[in-house]
Amino acid sequence: QKVVLGVRTSGLVTLGRQVFSGIGIDIDRDLQALYVEQAAESPRIVLAGQAVGLWGAGEGWPGFTQLAQSPGGSRFLGPSPAQIARIVEKYPLLKAMEVSAGAYPGIERPLPTVGSVNLILVRADFDDLRAAAFIDAMQAAAADMRTALPQAAFSTLANTLASAPSPELLHRAVPRPR
């Protein structure tokens, strides 16, 4: 069966390779992976019947939104609990997560999955006061960000702390739990 994976050189396809590899599937050998030049092409290929599925990630992802709102809707598949354990064991930078209920039409309860947390990388000598000001601004804007962009709800200090593979990797200005 053909599955659209996305733009071959994208981080999304890299994530897909890791997730599928974690459960013993090689996307180029075991799936009929389709790659596109532009991400916007992906849902059109599925809607045209040229593929049965679309790999994607996150909440508010445009390709998923387009398919979920299409006539006939869509069905979201995530890894099983056992598969999640295998994936995060093989790729420790991936974390068990869930897509929120209501994130897309058809998701009526939280959907367990795996994913990565995106971070802002700064130089090791980045000024502590500037880093703290940025962190404070992100926290102060959290409610407005969630309203404007629902997937921003994940961007919390608590999730950053929980998702970091090691606290030592975070800038020293990031507040630590007491």
pLDDT tens figures, 112-144: 999 887 777 888 889 999 999 998 998 899 889
Verify that 167 and 98 share a domain, yes or no. no
The identity of residue 28, as a single letter, is: D
Provide the CATH number for the domain around residue 19.
3.40.190.10
DSSP state of 80: -
Residue-level pLDDT at 156:
81
Verify that 28 and 96 share a domain, yes or no. yes
Verify that 52 and 81 share a domain, yes or no. yes
Verify that 150 and 124 share a domain, yes or no. yes
pTM assigned to the model = 0.78
Last residue in a domain, options 115, 144, 159: 115
Helices vs strands, H then E, count in the chain: 7, 5
Tokens at 26, concatenated: 């090689």
- Beta strand segments in the chain, E: 2-7, 32-36, 53-54, 95-99, 111-115
Verify that 96 and 31 share a domain, yes or no. yes
Residue-level pLDDT at 141:
92
The identity of residue 136, as a single letter, is: D
Helix (H) or strand (E) holding 131: helix 128-140
Last residue in a domain, options 63, 82, 115: 115
Cβ contacts of residue 43 below 8 Å, gap of 6+? 54, 62, 63, 66, 67, 70
The total number of structural domains in the chain stands at 2
Verify that 82 and 97 share a domain, yes or no. yes
Query: The domain containing residue 172 runs over which residues?
Result: 118-178
Which residue from 101, 18, 105, 36 is spatially nearest to 2, judged by alpha carbons? 36
Residue-level pLDDT at 7:
95
Cβ contacts of residue 27 below 8 Å, gap of 6+? 3, 5, 16, 17, 20, 21, 33
Residues of the chain with pLDDT under 50: none
Verify that 69 and 150 share a domain, yes or no. no
Residue-level pLDDT at 68:
94
